[in-house]
Homo-oligomer: A and B are copies of this chain.
């Protein structure tokens, strides 16, 4: 690959001039039109591409953003990673993604790798699992890195002390439940959980508070996971049992789609059989008319990208949650 020196030689100028000609260079150091042209043409001729590593070394900073995610295939994280990448790209940054499968060991490893690459900032997308082996150690290392100047932002509750941009999970669970209550539903179950995951715990808290305030008894099912599969199997168990709830609030959209699939597989339909609602606002449920509490992930990712690539400033607040009513919940009916 051609270097600046080769360009300079070909254009018969010094490397300094070549650099200035190509970069517009600092004030006080103009380059004559003629030389500009010579340098540009030399660069084009040799197919010159500046070396980011060399620049990084010289400038002591890179234009790399790191994104640590549990699984890019989960639409929640996919949506986040995507909007971060797009906005970061607009700002001249490239994005390194890391799938960690929620394994603290993997997270540590990828975090360290990102630090080696001198990422300008690192975004943790999901929350960690309380009590999981390795969570504490990861937290210690992140804390140490932050103390050393590594920029870190978390988009969910985390056990380390870094900047946070976190949506209001309690409100998401609460307001969605209230909406279902307003529709006249009384027997509302919550489906999906991953014990120890703070973000889901908070959604359950919001649900529980709303149910309790309405004089009902909260019921949480399907604590085995947050996937479509777990949603479908939870629905299967529900259908096999005796008492079917009026409506279900799902821990996330994936679980909700799984619930819809469970109904579909049984030849049933929402909202006739029961109302179904998700949390997240990802596009997975769109075509099935899934009512959901949007967490405005596109906006969140944008905000996060802007913050992590900026040098100064306090972390912005997360966008508010927004109820998206579609057809998987029944239309309004007077309270019975």
Contacts and interface: CB of A to CB of B under 8 A. Distances in A.
A239 interface: no
Contact of A228 (B78, B95, B98, B287): B287
A194 interface: no
Q: For the side of the interface on A, what is the size category?
A: 35 or more
Contacts of A265: 287-289, 327
B99 A96 contact: no
Number of this chain's copies in the complex: 2
Chain A interface, DSSP helix/strand/loop, else mixed: helix
Interface string A282-300: 0110111100000000000
Q: Interface centre among A1, A287, A288, by most B CB within 10 Å?
A: A287
B232 A51 contact: no
A117 B99 contact: no
Contact of A118 (B47, B52, B116, B260): B52
A183 interface: no
15 contacts: A50-B116, A51-B118, A53-B53, A53-B57, A53-B62, A53-B118, A71-B82, A72-B81, A73-B283, A86-B99, A89-B98, A89-B99, A94-B96, A95-B97, A265-B287
Interface of A: 1-2, 47, 49-54, 56-57, 62, 64, 71-73, 75, 78-79, 81-82, 85-86, 89, 94-99, 110, 112-118, 144-145, 148-149, 228-229, 231-232, 257-258, 260-262, 264-265, 267, 269, 283-284, 286-289, 327
